[in-house]
Structure 1
Amino acid sequence: MTDRLELRYQRLLRAYPRSYRDRRGTEMITTMLDMAAAGRGGPTRGQALHLILCGLRQRFRLPARRPLAWVGAVLAAVVLGAFGATAGTWLGWQTAASIPSDGELRALNAAMTGMPAPAAVYRERSAMQGPGALVRADGISDYSAERVRAALTADGWRITSFREAQGAMLAGFDGDEEQLPVTNLTYTATRGGLKLDGNGWVVTGSAGHELTVRASYGTEVWPREAAAVRPLTVAGLIAGALAGWLVAAAFACWLRETGRSRRWVATVACAVAGATAAVPVYAQLRGAYQVMMYAKGSPYPYIVYSPSDEIATGTWTVVGLLAVAAALVAAWPRRLDG
C-alpha cells in the first residue's frame, strides 16, 4: 500500500518543475505518506487537483530579483501568442467547407459562358485568412441568361440573385469610335457552406466588326465563415502566450544552473531572437487583428494588403530560430527538466 501511495504521489508531483522536486520532493512525499499512515488515507480528488495546480503555479514562477527574466517572459508570451493566434485561425478554417478544385471551377465556367477554352483560376486569401478562388474568362461568346442559370443549378448552386442591365461600350474601329450595346449581369448563389458571387458583360451587337473579346466573366467562390475561426484565434493567442511564459520560466531556471560564460552567450542569443522576432510577430498580430475585425457573416471576401504590402518574414524567422537554438544549447541543463 505504501509503495502504491508513494508512486501515486510521485506522479502527482510531476506537475512541479524538476528543480523544485529535487529540493523538496522527498520532504513532500514523506509528509504525505505520514498523513496517510495517520489514518487520513490517500489523496482525494480535491487534494490531487490542489497539488497539480500548485505545481503548475511553480512552473510559471520566475526567479526572484531577475528583471531580465520578466522581460524575456513577456516577450516570449507575445511571440508565441502571435504565432498561436495564426495557428488557431488556420485550424478554425479547416472546419469550413472545401472550395471546388480548379478543374471543377473551369468546368462550371465553361458551362456558364459557352467558352470551351480553359479559364484562369486564381487562388486568394481574404483578410480573415479564409480561402477563396476566382475563375475568370475573356473571349468570344454570345449571351444567354438561361445558360448561366442552368449551369449554376446543374452544379448544385442555389441562385439567390440574378440581375441584368443594358449598357454600352466605346470601341475604336479604323480610327473611328463606336458605342456597342452590352448586356451586364451579376449573380450570387450558395451551395452548402459555400458562397458564389459573379459578374460579366457580353457585347450583344458589333455592327459587323470583328472583336477578339466579346464577353468577360468573373466568378468568385469562398466558404462561409466557420464558427470556430474567431474562438480558435483567441484560444491560440492565449495558449501561445501561456506556453511562451512557461518556456521563459523554465529557461530562466536553467540559466541559474549554468556558468557565467554560458549565461552570457544565452542572454545575447535571446536578445538577437527577440530583435529578429519583431517583424514576424508584427505580421502575425496584424493578421490576427484583421481576422477579429472582419465583418461577420462572411460577406464578399476582401483583401486588405496587396502583394507589394506583404511583409517578408522568412529570413527574420530563420535568424530568430537559429538564435533560439543557440540560446537553448548554451543554457540547456545536463538533464531534462520534466
Structure 2
Amino acid sequence: MPTTDPLARRYRRLLRWYPRDWRRARAAEVMALLLDTAPPGRTRPTARETVDLVRGGLRCRLGRPASFSVVAWAALATVICGLFTGALASRAAWETSRPQPDRAEAGAILTEVFPGHDLGDIDVPPALFVVYGHALTLRTVKTVLIGDGGEYQESATGATAFGAPPVPAEQIIAVARQRLTDAGWRLYDPQVSAYTGCTDKLCATPLPITDTTLTARRGDTILNASISTQTAADASYLAVELHRAPPPAVVPAGVLGALLGAVAGFLLFGWASRRTEGRRVSGAATFLFGVTMVLWWLPVLLTAPSLVGHHLDEPHPAWHPLWEWLGQPTASLLFLVGAVCALLALGLAAEPRRDRSPVALVD
C-alpha cells in the first residue's frame, strides 16, 4: 500500500535488492521491524542499514544460505559475463571507426615518410576486421568459430619494397624518424631484432641481418614500418602498415556493456541457483555450470598474462581489443561448448518445480 512516510519509501526501495519471492513472504515483516526500531524523526536509513540490506539482498538472491562456495561461483559468473558483454559492446563500437586508409591517404603518407623508395602497389583491405585477409562472411564465420579464430584481427593498409636497400638501413630509419617528427607523428621507441641469414642454399656464408620496427601515431592513424638490412633481391627491406586506432566510443561502450553484463550475469546465476536449490537437478546443473566456468575462464587465464608481457615488451599506441585478452575468438570453440552447458543448466533451472517452499532469510 502506498505511503507518504519517506523512511518507509526508502526502506522499501532497499528491499528491492531481495528477490521477489522473498519480498512476498517477508518484506512486510522486515519493514515493520525496521520502522519500529527507527528513532522518531528519522527520514533516511543509516549507512550501516543500507549496506546490510544491500549485502543481505544480494546474498539472498543466490539462495543456498548454508553454502559458502556459491558466493565464489557467483563472483566468477558475474565477472566473466561482464567481460564477455563488454568485449561484445566494444566490438560494436569499433564500427564507429573510420575505414582503413585508402590508396590516396596511404600514398601521401608513404611519399612523405619514405621518399625515394618503390613500395609497389598499396594493398587496401576489404573491411575493418578480416580473416586471412578477407571480410567476415557466413563462409568465414565457421573458420573463426571452429579452428582459426586467431586469424580474426584488425586489418591494415600495407605496402612493401623488395630487393637491396638503395641506401643503408640506418639512413632510412633516420630519415623516416625525422620526417615523422616534422609531420606531427608521435614516435615510440624502435624495436631492433637481429638474426643470421644466408647468401646461398647451403648457407656457406652466414649474413647477419638486423630488423628495425618503427611505430608512430598521428590522430587515429597508426604506422608500423619494418626496415631490414637484408640485400636479397627476392626479399623485402621495407614493409609499412597503416591502420586505425580504436575509436573514442570503444572504451565507454566496453565499460557500459561490462557493467550491464555483470548485473545480468549475477541476476541470472542467482535465479538459477534458487530455482535448483534442494532439487534433484541441482547436481546436474552445478556440474554443467562448473564446466562452463572452466571453459570460459581457462582462455582468459592463459591469454591475459602473455598479453601483459607482450604490451610491456613492445610499444603499443593502442591496446589489443578486449576480446583478445579473453582468448577470443581463438578459443571460441571452448566458449561455444561452455555456452551450450550454460543453456542446459538454465533449462534445468527453468523446469517447473512442484514445491514452493518459502525463501529463507539470509542474515
Q: Is TM > 0.5 for Structure 1 vs Structure 2?
A: yes
1:141-185, Cα deviation, whole Å (9 max, x unpaired) = 974749856874686425567899xxx986679xxx9999x9986
Return closer, same or farther for 1:50/1:194 CA change in 2, 3 Å cut-off: farther
**Using the alignment, how far apart are the partners of 2:72 and 2:31 within structure 1?**
34
* 1:1-338 matches, cutoff 5 A: 3-5=3-5, 7-31=9-33, 40-41=40-41, 43-47=42-46, 50-51=49-50, 53-61=52-60, 63=63, 66-67=66-67, 70-85=68-83, 101-103=100-102, 106-107=106-107, 110-111=110-111, 112=114, 113-119=117-123, 133=156, 135-139=158-162, 143=166, 145=172, 148=176, 152=180, 156-158=184-186, 187-191=214-218, 196-201=223-228, 215-219=237-241, 240=262, 247-255=268-276, 263-265=279-281, 267-291=283-307, 295-296=311-312, 299=315, 310-311=330-331, 312-330=333-351
Aligned to 2:133: none
Cα deviation for residue 293 of structure 1 reads 5.3
Matched residues, percent identical? 20
| Residues 110 and 116 in structure 1, CA contact (< 8 A), matched pair in contact too | no
Aligned residues: 301
SS in 2 for 1:320: helix
Equivalent AA in structure 1 for residue 305 of structure 2? Y
Unmatched tracts of structure 2, length 5 or more = 131-149
1:241-283, Cα deviation, whole Å (9 max, x unpaired) = x876665444333345xxx8xx323542342232244222201
Cα deviation for residue 136 of structure 1 reads 4.8
**Using the alignment, how far apart are the partners of 1:325 and 1:251 within structure 2?**
6
**Using the alignment, how far apart are the partners of 2:177 and 2:37 within structure 1?**
79
Unmatched tracts of structure 1, length 5 or more = none
1:265-311, Cα deviation, whole Å (9 max, x unpaired) = 35423422322442222012333434555555962599999x9x943
SS in 1 for 2:121: coil
RMSD over aligned CA atoms reads: 5.9
Return closer, same or farther for 1:334/1:194 CA change in 2, 3 Å cut-off: farther
| Residues 76 and 293 in structure 2, CA contact (< 8 A), matched pair in contact too | no
SS in 2 for 1:135: strand
SS in 2 for 1:82: helix
1:87-127, Cα deviation, whole Å (9 max, x unpaired) = 567879979xx797152774367533433412376979xx9
TM-score w.r.t. length of structure 2: 0.55
**Using the alignment, how far apart are the partners of 2:284 and 2:180 within structure 1?**
61
TM-score w.r.t. length of structure 1: 0.58
| Residues 270 and 323 in structure 1, CA contact (< 8 A), matched pair in contact too | no
SS in 2 for 1:200: strand
SS in 1 for 2:102: helix
Name whichever of 211-220 and 266-275 sits farther off: 211-220
SS in 2 for 1:217: strand
1:15-58, Cα deviation, whole Å (9 max, x unpaired) = 3332332233223334556678xx813x4334377246414323
**Using the alignment, how far apart are the partners of 2:109 and 2:18 within structure 1?**
61
**Using the alignment, how far apart are the partners of 1:170 and 1:114 within structure 2?**
24
Higher gyration radius (CA): 1
| Residues 100 and 156 in structure 2, CA contact (< 8 A), matched pair in contact too | no
Cα deviation for residue 330 of structure 1 reads 2.0
